[in-house]
Amino acid sequence: MLRPQPDDAQASRFELALPNSPAAAVLARRQFMTFIKHLRLNAAFASDMETAVGEALANAVEHGRRPHGTLVVQALLTGDGIDVTVSDDGPGFAPGPAGLDRPAVLAPRGYGIFLIRSVVDRVEFRDDGRTLWFRKHF
């Protein structure tokens, strides 16, 4: 895959803070994907990023939504990939170890962290579980 070539230095980072709501999560995902488009990445990479960011935002809204709360998405283009954080100001989240968070076969929900881990290279929970950080290599 070709390394992304953003048009300028500002294009190598993304940051958006919005009131934490389902509508804001949709807007944040769309804005993030606009950022990804400008990096001219291949479709598979972009799709993986949309899955990861979309699931992280859904979790932040569901588990971190508080009155007057904030949802923050940040991304930084690095030399070998992209680092993304999705933060909320809720109580935090502590999933099990990688591989143990797979939901039951017929579970109607609960696939978010499992999906994120399946499409990125590294996942960490920071800030007492209020921030999900992940990295995907090019």
CATH classification of the domain holding 126: 3.30.565.10
Q: How far apart are CA 71 and CA 75, in angstroms?
A: 14
In a domain, 47, yes or no: yes
pLDDT of residue 64: 82
Are 4 and 40 within 8 A, CB to CB?
Answer: yes
Question: Does 4 fall in a domain?
Answer: no
pLDDT at residue 82, as a whole number: 96
β-bridge mates for residue 122, sequence order? 135
pTM listed for this prediction: 0.84
pLDDT category at 84 given cuts 50, 70, 90 is very high
| Structural domains in the chain (count) | 1
Give a yes or no: residue 108 inside a domain. Answer: yes
Sheet hosting strand 122-126, strand order edge to edge? 13-19, 70-77, 81-88, 131-137, 122-126
What is the domain range of residue 27? 10-137
Give me the pLDDT at residue 101, please: 62
Q: What is the pLDDT of residue 107?
A: 57
**What is the band of 104 on the pLDDT scale with cuts at 50, 70, 90?**
low
In a domain, 29, yes or no: yes
pLDDT at residue 36 is higher than 60: yes
Q: Note the pLDDT of residue 110.
A: 65
Q: What is the pLDDT of residue 132?
A: 95
- Is 1 domain-assigned? no
Q: Is the pLDDT of residue 6 over 50?
A: no
User: Sorting pLDDT into bands at 50, 70 and 90, what band is 97?
Assistant: low
Q: Is the pLDDT of residue 47 over 70?
A: yes
pLDDT grade for 16, boundaries at 50, 70 and 90: very high
Which pLDDT value is given to residue 79? 86
